[in-house]
């Protein structure tokens, strides 16, 4: 029995891992002369290139020649930065892809001063760590697992004192989703070790992701090895060579105790332990042990498969160690004849990067301007607006909070040696208020697009070589308060756009045209009124009379490529509304039949509906242009006077809420069926986000809006609140908040800024509801909202209380944990930390594969001991010790 569930188990289902390719690898030898690039590292076979293509500042250096035999080739050169406070590498990456990022610093007395540098290392706009090389003769290395939110990643060195920042190598390795999990933030490596009494370091090509595994051993341990093959395929893709050795306590009757001190000491910690039984056990032999971390969490009776298969245990949520550090114990149980065993161990600390980068559209625009004019201002590196103390010179930004991207509001390029024309990309700075391009050598016309930037209050184009006429639209903006300075451009005609006589000549035909238009409008209105009086009014007394603004000219009609039914036909198909299926915010839903064969569901607008014609029209327009197997199909509609109806395909198994709660026949949905339904719904939502043109946000994802057909295939329904969202640089829509309490994205609620990640939040709530079968909000709970309640259960390791008790624990623990982790990532407070729906679909499919395989693996943890290594770079001070 478990006292507390500390760790989650990952089943060893097969995962296709890329062969020995270096696809996506970024390997930079800093300071390497361009003529020596690229080359293949003799010790790993990895191809390194010069950093000169991604950094235009700094100077090249080489470590002391006496050290050349000690270090690998990529560390013999370096780049140092004597000028500027911040110097950055701008790297092209795949957004929302997890990367293992490793940076190496070897001073090597390159400058002959024998003064070790101290400086800060930044990842984008956020501080990663401080690099203090004092006393590190062998250099130092920092590694982090991080997911960039854009296609560009800045790694920056920031000068903080008298010493000069420097760097030796930068290495990025893309990781497959699911190998490591964090609810938010990034994982900074404390250590990654395999248990062996050797000096060999294991990395690429043994590890396809080029993770570096350092040997770990101590006199208090006994090593065991095997030459037999080990099935290492699985989520974590641990190299087989890492698993061919293991350690047990030297005294077989005593526990294996591992301790380490995280930095900072109050950091939240993730631990991953890898186990494989590499001894052939006799029939009467048994290896079983308890895993205890800091006396607070226990996994009891952990055992390892006997077939040389990998079994990985990891902390289901970050944990905090006490004031003396982290203490991990593997304790032999009374039923065990053999001591505990461990093959490899990884530990990470959680690093939160709270800053949201500068608006992508502003960032792209300012980088384009920088490239167009070849601006070499040394401060123009990294994020333009963040951190504020390092924002770009001659540029000013607006800041709201850490969740809202800063915007560029002022750009001063006066006397910057600019030549050529004014580039159109400037109009992408949509929030800019002041633009100063004075005292340069700009030529060409004054562009009309400047008048379209509504936020501009000051434009200074004085003392250039501009020519031609000034656009009238720009001159007119002066009446709105725009300050326009054009002096010092001798070839510029600022006044020939004023043509008063033409205005007089234009007035008469304009007035005549307006009068004609008015007459036409009046005639059309009269015809409409007379036609409306002739419409039959045979509605039953219960039909609505409110919110019928669609009969006025303010609500244009919409085209239809579906069947439009009359109200009489709707009465006939529903047998005069004889069988009600349910009732929602729109109105009552009735069962119907078309042509005596095709069953349909007919939704009528009720008098008390809070939605009305606007939402009716939105739903019809959306469903007329979208087609997907996981979206409910629109058969037709009725729009006749006050009578509004939507006619859908009939879904005989009702909605998901009824089945999860047991209100639909009392049959309990299995965990496998719930996962299939979740995959279906996720596919429908993914289609709305990526398959529609323009993309759509549903805005009301909840269990009652997920309907089930006769074979329990799920389809999304109720699109009355749906909105399109931008696909360009603007990533959100400002709109009045709409949705269902409990499912509503808190970031959207507080900011009115709608993105597709608002749907992701709601879908995360649906996943929690599917898993727990508990109310979204229950005031009697210690944590009323389901997100807070599940989070508290995760911290206790209490998976039994999270899952629906009606399932009677009939599920694969690995698939459940992965689903819980996915759901909690979806409901992250910051929308930028949530996955997109494509990743949600993939993760749910992996859960389903794991559930189908029913691998029967369990979670656990592992020990460590003092490290003996022959690396040329110092490891972190956080390495563990064994007792």
726: pLDDT confidence band, cut at 50, 70 and 90? Answer: low
Model pLDDT for residues 802-856, shown as the tens digit of each residue: 999 988 888 887 788 889 989 999 999 888 889 999 889 988 988 888 787 654 3
b/e burial code for range 152-161 (CB count within 10 A of at least 16 → b): bbbbbbbbee
Q: In the predicted model, what is the mean pLDDT of residues 410-428?
A: 94
Q: What is the DSSP string of 774-790?
A: --SB-TTSSS-BHHHHH
Active site residue 700: yes
396 vs 408: CA distance, rounded Å: 6
Please name which of 209, 284, 215 lies closest in space to residue 20, comparing C-alpha atoms.
209
Q: What Cα–Cα distance (Å) separates residue 527 from each residue in 530, 538, 553, 559, 831?
A: 5, 22, 12, 21, 51
Q: Is the pLDDT of residue 376 over 80?
A: yes
Determine contact, residues 12/857, Cβ cutoff 8 Å.
Answer: yes
Upstream peptide bond of 827 is cis (omega within 30 degrees of 0) = no
> What pLDDT is recorded for position 870?
36
CB 374: neighbour CB atoms within 10 A?
9
CATH placement of domain 542-650: 3.30.200.20
Q: What is the mean pLDDT of the chain?
A: 83
Between CA 530 and CA 624 the distance in angstroms is 30
Reading the block at residue 12, the tokens are: 């060893």
φ, ψ dihedrals at 661, nearest 5°: -80, -10
Closest CA to 486 of 466, 468, 503: 466
Q: How far apart are CA 254 and CA 754, in angstroms?
A: 57
The DSSP code sequence of 626-677 is ---TTBPPEEEEEEETTEEEEEEE--TT-BHHHHHHT-STTPPPPHHHHHHH
**Structural domain spans, the chain:** 7-11+193-352, 26-175, 360-493, 542-650, 652-829
Instruction: Give the span between the Cα atoms of 175 and 187, in whole angstroms.
Output: 13
Architecture, CATH, for domain 652-829 = Orthogonal Bundle (1.10)
* Terminal C-alpha separation, the chain: 27
Are residues 122 and 153 in contact, defined by beta-carbon separation less than 8 angstroms?
no
Under 8 Å CB-to-CB from 855, ≥6 apart: which residues?
Answer: 11, 12, 13, 812, 814
Count the alpha carbons within 13 Å of 143 in the hemisphere toward its beta carbon. Answer: 21
Helix residue ranges, H only, 396-554: 472-476, 500-534
Query: Which among 243, 102, 234 is positioned nearest to 178, based on CA atoms?
Result: 234
868 pLDDT above the threshold of 60 = no
Task: Choose, from 700, 745, 759, 812, the residue flagged as catalytic.
Answer: 700
In 3D space, the residue among 655, 669, 638 whose CA is nearest the CA of residue 582 turns out to be 655
SS3 content of the chain, % helix, strand, coil (to 5): 25, 25, 50
Q: For 465-494, write each residue's pLDDT tens digit.
A: 999 999 999 999 998 899 999 999 999 986
Q: What is the DSSP letter of 588?
A: E
Instruction: Give the integer Cα–Cα distance in Å for 537 and 670.
Output: 50
Q: Which residues contact 66 (CB under 8 A, 6 or more apart)?
A: none
Most confident by average pLDDT, 127-131, 149-153, 294-298, 579-583: 127-131
> Tell me, what's the pLDDT at 555?
39
Which residues carry a binding-site annotation for ATP? 603
Q: Who wins on pLDDT, 551 or 64? A: 64
* pLDDT score of 145: 96
- Count of H helices and E strands in the chain? 14, 49
- The Cα diameter of the chain in Å comes to 108
Spatial distance between the Cα atoms of 250 and 243, rounded to a whole number of angstroms? 19
* Cβ count near 4 (within 10 Å): 16
Q: In sequence order, which residues have a C-beta less than 8 Å from that of residue 32 and are 6 or more positions away?
A: 48, 49, 50, 51, 52, 60, 77
Query: In degrees, to the nearest 5, what angle opens at C-alpha 629 toward C-alphas 628 and 635?
Result: 75
CB-count burial class (<10 Å; 0-12, 13-18, 19+) for 644: buried
Q: Do domains 7-11+193-352 and 26-175 have the same CATH topology?
A: yes
Q: Mean pLDDT over residues 233-250, rounded?
A: 91
Q: Give me the CATH code for the 7-11+193-352 domain, please.
A: 2.60.120
pTM of the model: 0.64
Task: Convert the pLDDT of each residue in 759-804 to its tens digit.
Answer: 999 999 999 999 999 999 888 888 889 999 998 888 766 677 899 9
- Segment 590-606 shows an average pLDDT of 85
Pick from 60-74, 418-432, 664-678: least confident? 664-678
636: CB partners within 8 A, 6+ apart: 562, 563, 564, 565, 647
Q: What's the CATH fold of domain 360-493?
A: 3.80.10
**Is it the case that residue 503 has pLDDT exceeding 80?**
no
Query: Can you tell me the mean pLDDT for 867-881?
Result: 55
The architecture that CATH gives domain 26-175 is Sandwich (2.60)
Q: Torsion over CA of 521, 523, 524 and 530, rounded to 10 degrees? A: 140
């Amino acid at each position: 029995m478990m006292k507390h569930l500390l760790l989650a188990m990952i089943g060893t289902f097969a995962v296709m891992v890329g062969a020995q390719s270096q696809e996506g690898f970024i390997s930079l030898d800093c300071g390497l002369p361009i003529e020596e690039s690229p080359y293949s590292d003799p010790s790993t076979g990895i191809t390194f290139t010069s950093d000169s293509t991604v950094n235009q500042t700094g100077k090249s250096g080489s470590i002391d020649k006496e050290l050349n035999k000690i270090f690998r080739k990529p560390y013999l050169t370096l780049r140092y930065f004597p000028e500027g406070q911040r110097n950055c590498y701008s790297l092209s990456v795949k957004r929302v892809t997890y990367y293992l990022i490793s940076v190496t610093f070897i001073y090597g007395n390159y400058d002959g001063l024998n003064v070790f540098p101290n400086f800060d290392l930044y990842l984008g706009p956020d501080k990663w760590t401080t690099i203090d090389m004092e006393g590190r003769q062998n250099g130092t290395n920092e590694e982090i697992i991080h997911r960039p939110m854009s296609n560009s990643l800045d790694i920056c060195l920031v000068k903080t004192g008298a010493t000069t920042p420097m760097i030796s190598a930068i290495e990025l390795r893309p990781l497959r989703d699911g190998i490591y999990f964090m609810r938010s933030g990034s994982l900074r490596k404390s250590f990654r070790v395999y248990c062996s009494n050797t000096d060999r370091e294991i990395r690429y090509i043994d590890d396809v992701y080029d993770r570096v595994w350092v040997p770990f051993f101590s006199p208090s341990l006994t090593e065991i090895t095997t030459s037999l093959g080990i099935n290492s395929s699985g989520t974590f893709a641990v190299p087989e060579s890492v698993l061919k050795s293991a350690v047990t306590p030297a005294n077989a009757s005593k526990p294996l105790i591992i301790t380490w001190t995280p930095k900072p000491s109050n950091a939240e910690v993730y631990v991953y332990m890898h186990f494989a039984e590499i001894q052939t056990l006799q029939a009467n032999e048994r290896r079983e042990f308890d895993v205890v971390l800091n006396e607070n969490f226990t996994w009891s009776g952990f055992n390892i498969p006997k077939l040389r298969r990998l079994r990985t245990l990891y902390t289901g949520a970050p944990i905090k160690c006490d004031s003396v550090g982290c203490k991990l114990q593997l304790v032999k149980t009374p039923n065990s004849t053999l001591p505990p065993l461990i093959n490899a161990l990884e530990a990470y600390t959680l690093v939160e990067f709270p800053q949201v980068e500068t608006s992508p559209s502003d960032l792209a625009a300012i980088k384009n301007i920088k490239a167009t004019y070849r601006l070499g201002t040394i401060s123009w590196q990294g994020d333009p607006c963040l951190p504020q103390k390092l924002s770009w010179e001659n540029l000013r930004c607006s800041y709201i909070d850490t969740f809202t991207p800063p915007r560029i509001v002022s750009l001063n390029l006066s006397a910057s040696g600019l030549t050529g024309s004014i580039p159109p990309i400037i109009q992408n700075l949509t929030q800019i208020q002041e633009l100063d391009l004075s005292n340069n050598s700009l030529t060409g016309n004054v562009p009309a697009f400047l008048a379209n930037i509504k936020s501009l209050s000051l434009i200074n184009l004085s003392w250039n070589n501009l020519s031609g006429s000034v656009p009238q639209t720009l001159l007119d903006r002066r009446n709105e308060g725009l300050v326009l300075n054009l002096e010092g451009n001798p070839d510029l005609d600022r006044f020939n756009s004023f043509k008063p006589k033409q205005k007089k000549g234009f007035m008469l035909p304009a007035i005549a045209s307006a009068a004609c238009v008015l007459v036409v409008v009046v005639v059309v209105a009269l015809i409409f009124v007379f036609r409306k009086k002739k419409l039959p009014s045979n509605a039953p007394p219960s039909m609505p009379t409110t919110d019928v603004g669609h009969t006025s000219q303010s609500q244009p009609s919409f085209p239809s490529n579906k069947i439009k039914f009359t109200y009489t036909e709707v009465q006939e198909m529903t047998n005069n509304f004889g069988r009600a299926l349910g009732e929602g915010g729109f109105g009552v839903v009735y069962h119907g039949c078309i042509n005596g064969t095709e069953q349909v569901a007919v939704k009528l607008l009720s008098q008390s509906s809070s939605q009305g014609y606007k939402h009716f029209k939105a739903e019809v327009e959306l469903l007329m242009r979208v087609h997907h197997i996981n979206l409910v199909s629109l058969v037709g509609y009725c729009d006749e006077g006050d009578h509004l109806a939507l006619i859908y395909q009939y879904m005989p198994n009702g909605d998901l809420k009824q089945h999860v709660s047991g209100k639909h026949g009392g049959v309990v949905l299995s965990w496998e069926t719930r996962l299939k339904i979740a995959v279906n719904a996720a596919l429908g939502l993914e289609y709305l986000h990526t398959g529609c043109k323009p993309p759509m946000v549903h805005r009301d994802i909840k269990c009652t809006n997920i309907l089930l057909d006769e074979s329990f295939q799920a389809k999304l329904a109720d699109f009355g609140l749906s909105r399109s969202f931008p696909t360009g640089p603007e990533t959100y829509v400002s709109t009045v908040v709409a949705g269902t309490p409990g499912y509503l994205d808190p970031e959207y609620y507080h900011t009115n800024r709608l993105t597709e990640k608002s749907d992701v939040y709601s879908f995360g709530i649906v996943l929690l509801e599917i898993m727990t079968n508990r109310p979204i909000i229950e005031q009697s709970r210690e944590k009323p909202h389901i997100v807070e309640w599940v989070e508290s259960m995760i911290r206790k390791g209490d998976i039994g209380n999270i899952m629906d008790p009606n399932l009677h624990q009939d599920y694969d623990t690995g698939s459940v944990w992965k689903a819980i982790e996915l759901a909690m990532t979806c409901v992250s407070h910051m929308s930028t930390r949530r996955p997109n729906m494509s990743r949600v679909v993939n993760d749910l499919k992996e859960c389903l594969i794991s559930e189908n395989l029913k691998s029967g693996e369990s979670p656990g943890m592992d020990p460590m001991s003092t490290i003996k290594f022959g690396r040329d770079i110092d490891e972190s001070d956080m390495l563990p010790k064994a007792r």
